[in-house]
Chains A and B, each alone.
Chain A
Amino acid sequence: MKSSYVSFTLNGEEKELLIEPGRRLVDVLREQCGATGTKNGCGQGSCGACTVHIDGVAMLSCLLPAELVDGSEIVTIEGVVRNRVLHVLQEAFLAQAATQCGFCTAGMIMAAKALLDCDPSPSRQAVIEALSGNVCRCTGYEPIIAAVLAAAATLAKRPAAAAAA
């Protein structure tokens, strides 16, 4: 029942943390790293609120014992902000009123960013598919879909921003 050291990069910053055996990444992020943007929702992989990027791939941090991300590069919602400037997706969520209570928003944006990272101009159907694992109980999804499409349109107009995002 020994704790062990786990090291990873969190939003570009090197971390080395003493982890209790099997502690979930979502708890480590929130309670040991202070990165509370990532939410702990269902603990089942059903709601997507805990979505983070592990080595560029969207994964569910409630289903990952932290030992398994040793040596990985982790990006959370805190890491999509650059120089205190919101990400295009975050601006779009604000503009489209795609956030109500906000609990799902971090996961939605990380899932949407995973889509835009590989498909910068997705169809509406591709957006719906990309967000199919993220539950929102407030918005009815339409403003969220509109926000992701709007962010993609903004990125298309600003190729430099797209490269930086």
Chain B
Amino acid sequence: MAFAVHRPESMEAVIAALDGTASVAVSGGTLAIRAINEGKSFPLAIVSLRRAGLAGIAQDDGMIEIGAATPIAELVRPDLAFLDGVIASFGAPAVRNMATLGGNLFAPQPYGDFGVALLALDASLAIAGPSGKRRLPLSKFYETGLASNEIVTGIRFAPPAPGTWRWLKATRRALNSAAVIAVAAIIETDRSGTISAVRIALGGVDSHPVRSPVAEAGLLGQVLDSASATKAGEAAATFHPCFTDTYASAWYRRRVLPVFMRRALLGTPLETMP
């Protein structure tokens, strides 16, 4: 166990407490404390984000800004109803009460479903550290990570237009199960059914949640139907490395990706799935 547990009451105090020692920032604790319990992490100090004023949900200029330390369970609200499917497929109730949106960005694959959803939303992060505050696109965050002693303080995105959001996760069990494949997408079609804008993010295919440029390129300008969605999924299955873990083999992930891409994009109700 750690030698000290700090409970700073402001963002600035969090940054100061993180400085210098082998400390770890802990938000909900479902990843960081678990790692300590398992003997995989040995921080000298735990710096809790619980009291630092980093929780809460605000709207301005049509954008939604969510504090990094906001528990997943608090995302269940009418103005975020499009996220209900992500929340329902995420962990179990007690984990959702503890785990936070910011913390989930640090979850190793095949966890981190909100990273997948937020990539499709083209979210950006508010980051604070010893040298001040900055903003970083989530896609960049997965490439560069954070500098020493920096923390994510908030997540910002535009809510999807009605009817454009898609989320589907292939799992081993119906509930509380990590992603075999997770598909998040925003897809807009014009009057003729041609795809005019599309963002697709995937979980279960790489070392972190990723956008799928090949799937997006394959769909743009096409008519959204079973054939085009499956083809985009096949392109993604070839392009992304996929991986083998206790949930599924890389072969299986590549095999089901086109199927779940099609089901995600067409919004096929579960009961009628082929």
The stretch that binds A, out of B12-20, B77-85, B90-98, is B90-98
Would B37 and A21 count as touching, CB distance under 8 A?
no
Would B1 and A48 count as touching, CB distance under 8 A?
no
Known: A60-B98, A129-B175. A21 touches B2 (CB 8 A): yes
Q: Measured between alpha carbons, how far is A24 from B92 in the docked complex, in Å? A: 20
Q: Select A63's contact among B2, B4, B34, B92, beta carbons within 8 Å.
A: B34
Would A64 and B92 count as touching, CB distance under 8 A?
no
Chain A residue nearest to B88 in the complex (CB): A129
Chain B residue nearest to A62 in the complex (CB): B37
Interface residues on A, range: 20 to 34
Q: Does B135 touch A at the CB level, under 8 Å? A: no
Q: Measured between alpha carbons, how far is A23 from B92 in the docked complex, in Å? A: 24
CB contacts (< 8 Å) of B3 on chain A: these are 1, 21-22
How distant is A52 from chain B, measured CB to nearest CB, in Å? 9
How distant is A81 from chain B, measured CB to nearest CB, in Å? 21
Q: Does B7 touch A at the CB level, under 8 Å? A: yes
Would B94 and A22 count as touching, CB distance under 8 A?
no
Q: Does A90 touch B at the CB level, under 8 Å? A: no
Count A-B pairs with CB separation below 8 Å.
96
Q: Select B97's contact among A43, A57, A132, beta carbons within 8 Å.
A: A57
Q: Measured between alpha carbons, how far is A82 from B28 in the docked complex, in Å? A: 31
Q: Select A44's contact among B26, B38, B50, beta carbons within 8 Å.
A: B38
Residue-by-residue, is A17-41 near B (CB-CB < 8 Å gives 1, otherwise 0)?
Answer: 0001111100000000000000000
Interface size of B in residues (CB-CB distance below 8 Å)? 29
Q: Does B33 touch A at the CB level, under 8 Å? A: yes
Would B93 and A21 count as touching, CB distance under 8 A?
no
Would A21 and B1 count as touching, CB distance under 8 A?
yes
Would B95 and A65 count as touching, CB distance under 8 A?
no
Across the A-B interface, give the 6 residue pairs with the lowest CB-CB distance, nearest first.
Answer: A133-B92, A43-B37, A22-B1, A132-B175, A22-B2, A67-B5
**B residues whose Cβ falls under 8 Å from a Cβ of A:** 1-5, 7, 26, 28-30, 33-34, 36-38, 46, 48, 50, 73, 88, 91-95, 97-98, 175-176
22 interchain pairs (CB within 8 A)? A24-B33, A24-B37, A43-B38, A44-B38, A57-B73, A57-B97, A58-B93, A59-B97, A60-B94, A63-B33, A63-B37, A63-B98, A64-B98, A65-B5, A65-B29, A65-B33, A67-B48, A68-B5, A111-B94, A115-B93, A129-B175, A132-B93
